[in-house]
Amino acid sequence: MTEKNLENLFYDTLKDIYYAERKIAKSLPKMARGAQSPELKAAFEKHLEETEGQIERLQQVFDIIGKRAMGKTCEAIEGILAEGEEILEEYEGAAALDAGLISAAQAVEHYEITRYGTLKRWAEMLELPEAVRLLDQTLQEESKTDLDLTKLANASSNPTALAAE
């Protein structure tokens, strides 16, 4: 049996986030349809476009390491997305819906930020500079999306949820 090393871990984690991104891309249209504010709907639609680009970059990273792009079931993202579905169902029509959707989306973003940060560092250690660049580009997008969601929550969704009777 060969010993598992950082290369193996990098590849396994890459498969994990590839699966996650593809699941996220499938769930974003439903989140956009469920959003009440036009701003949140637009944010989900914009992030879907970004996610499609992120999937393409992951495919490039697979090419860099000479592996076929494939996913590995990510139980973490399955659970996070299930929570988002639950919020959509339980808060449909409620003033707190958008605040709940933002919280679910930020849970996704935080998961992605940790994965991309880790993969970027490992790519540095494995001396894969092009992979570092691609992973960092996605990491920056995910971080910006998280900040944009925070601004949206603070400006409208959270106050709307608070004001509801």
In a domain, 87, yes or no: yes
> Could you tell me the CATH number of the domain that includes residue 67?
1.20.1260.10
pLDDT score, position 44: 97
Q: What pTM does this model have?
A: 0.94
Distance from C-alpha of 147 to C-alpha of 163, rounded to nearest angstrom: 23
Per the structure, the count of domains in the chain is 1
Angstrom CA distances, 45 to 9, 65, 137, stand at: 32, 31, 19
Evaluated on CA atoms 71, 136, 118, 29, the torsion sign reads: negative
pLDDT score, position 3: 85
- Digitized pLDDT (tens) for each residue of the chain, 165 residues in all: 678 999 999 999 999 999 999 999 999 999 999 999 999 999 999 999 999 999 999 999 999 999 999 999 999 999 999 999 999 999 999 999 999 999 999 999 999 999 999 999 999 999 999 999 999 999 999 999 999 999 999 999 999 999 986
pLDDT score, position 1: 65
**Residue whose tokens read 């679910």:** 104
Determine the structural domain holding residue 134 and report its residue range: 6-157
In a domain, 162, yes or no: no
In a domain, 165, yes or no: no
In a domain, 164, yes or no: no
